[in-house]
């Protein structure tokens, strides 16, 4: 019996050696988060993005919108800001999140049957009983800003419209849209239905990384049809800047009488990527164009020596 304590010690010693060997082998042959982060920091100087620097002689444009945020996507540097965290009505910019929730759940080729859809505002005139592919409904949603397309996508979700709206709010939390909440999928004014320019820039940067979303919002015109081909819907993008202003790739318009004119815009020009959100404007297309021209005329992109350079 005196042998047992000795045996236990030996077994413990062997187990510890085995643990050390396995742990060290795992460290050597698998990616270690701490090790990877150190390597990234060591290589940071070579991978730093070019930083936009505002010319000293620049005059800021005067914008009527209630809130504005323009951001250099690569560096995250703010290029222009006005009340960017003010809670405002999103109108149809809501449909950015509507689309993301739909893309999370639905296969693009899934067929949805249009139910009894009664909505105010912009419509692609879907007919009860009409069968449409999800992809075509997304074109109606994002190109033509169709409220009836939003409702059909919401109704087809497991648990129906209430569950879809809950999924939209969960998506907002997941993406850290801290001042955004939804009460409907289309963007009509409603209690607690709100967002900020900051949140819209963030969610739009994420959405544009989805190739399906980015393709759709950059489409100028599209014709879609019901499954049987009997009902045709001709869609023209509400965003007047697409195909008109150099580098504009999307993203989404919005308007209600109370919200006034909203517009989120993604621009790629001279290898620079800029996202702009304008809320509560009196002239969303004119003011966004003014901002785009001012940004590219008054900012110079420069490499910096270190992440702590001014």
DSSP, residue by residue, 199-212 = HHHHHHHHHTTSHH
The CA-atom distances, in angstroms, between 186 and each of 17, 88, 92, 123, 301 are 61, 16, 6, 10, 38
Mean pLDDT of 209-215: 98
Q: What is the pLDDT of residues 106-121, one digit of tens each?
A: 999 999 999 988 888 8
The C-alpha atoms of residue 202 and residue 77 are separated, in whole angstroms, by 13
pLDDT band at 46 (very low <50, low <70, confident <90, very high): low
- Higher-pLDDT residue of 70 and 18 is 70
162 found inside a domain? yes
Residue 33 is predicted with a pLDDT of 55
Which tokens is 29 given? Answer: 């042959």
Check whether 36 has a pLDDT greater than 60.
no
Mean pLDDT of 237-262: 96
Mean pLDDT of 283-289: 97
Q: Are 222 and 239 in contact (CB under 8 A)?
A: no
Q: How many domains does the chain have?
A: 1
- Higher-pLDDT residue of 37 and 220 is 220
Check whether 157 has a pLDDT greater than 60.
yes
* Domain coverage including residue 256: 54-302
pLDDT band at 225 (very low <50, low <70, confident <90, very high): very high
Q: What is the pLDDT of residues 72-104, one digit of tens each?
A: 999 999 999 999 999 999 999 999 999 999 999
The alpha carbon torsion through 97, 144, 158, 229 (nearest 10 deg) reads: -150
Residue 67 CB neighbour total at 10 angstroms: 24
Residue 303 is predicted with a pLDDT of 83
138 found inside a domain? yes
Residue 9 is predicted with a pLDDT of 42
Check whether 307 has a pLDDT greater than 80.
no
12 found inside a domain? no
260 found inside a domain? yes
Q: Are 83 and 66 in contact (CB under 8 A)?
A: yes
115 found inside a domain? yes
Residue 106 is predicted with a pLDDT of 97
Check whether 237 has a pLDDT greater than 90.
yes
134 found inside a domain? yes
Mean pLDDT of 180-197: 96
42 found inside a domain? no
50-54, 192-196, 287-291: range with lowest mean pLDDT: 50-54
Residue 19 is predicted with a pLDDT of 41
Residue 50 CB neighbour total at 10 angstroms: 15
Closest CA to 52 of 243, 219, 270, 284: 270
- Higher-pLDDT residue of 17 and 51 is 51
Burial 88-106 (b: 16+ CB within 10 A, else e): bbbbbbbbbbbbbbbbeeb
Calculate what percentage of the chain has a pLDDT beyond 90. Answer: 77
Residue 119 is predicted with a pLDDT of 87
Burial (Cβ within 10 Å: 0-12, 13-18, ≥19) of residue 7: exposed
Q: Which residue numbers are catalytic? A: 92, 95, 145
CATH of the domain at 196: 3.40.710.10
59 found inside a domain? yes
Residue 268 is predicted with a pLDDT of 97
């Amino acid at each position: 019996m005196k042998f047992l304590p000795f045996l236990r010690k030996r077994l413990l010693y062997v187990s510890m050696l085995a643990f050390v060997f396995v742990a060290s082998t795992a460290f050597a042959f698998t990616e270690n988060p701490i090790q990877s982060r150190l390597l990234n920091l060591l290589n940071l100087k070579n991978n730093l993005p070019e930083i936009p620097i505002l010319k000293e002689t620049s005059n800021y444009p005067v914008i009527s919108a209630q809130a504005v945020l323009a951001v250099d996507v690569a560096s995250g540097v703010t290029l222009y800001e006005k009340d960017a965290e003010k809670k405002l009505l999103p109108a149809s910019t809501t449909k950015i999140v509507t689309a993301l929730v739909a893309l999370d759940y639905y296969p693009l080729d899934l067929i949805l049957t249009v139910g009894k859809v009664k909505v105010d505002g912009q419509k692609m005139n879907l007919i009860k009983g009409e069968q449409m592919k999800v992809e075509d409904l997304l074109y109606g949603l994002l190109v033509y800003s169709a409220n009836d397309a939003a409702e059909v996508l919401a109704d087809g979700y497991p648990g129906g419209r209430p569950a879809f709206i809950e999924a939209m709010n969960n998506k907002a939390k997941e993406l850290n849209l801290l001042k955004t909440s939804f009460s409907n999928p289309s963007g009509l004014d409603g209690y607690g239905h709100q967002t900020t320019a900051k949140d819209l820039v963030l969610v739009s940067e994420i959405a544009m990384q989805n190739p399906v979303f980015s393709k759709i919002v950059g489409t100028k015109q599209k014709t879609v049809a019901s499954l049987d081909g009997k009902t045709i819907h001709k869609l023209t993008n509400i965003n007047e800047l697409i195909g008109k202003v150099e580098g504009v790739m999307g993203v989404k318009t919005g308007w209600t009488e109370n919200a006034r004119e909203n517009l989120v815009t993604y621009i790629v020009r001279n290898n620079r990527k800029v996202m702009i959100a304008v809320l509560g404007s009196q002239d969303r297309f004119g003011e966004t164009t003014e901002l785009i021209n001012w940004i590219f005329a008054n900012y110079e992109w420069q490499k910096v020596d270190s992440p702590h350079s001014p």
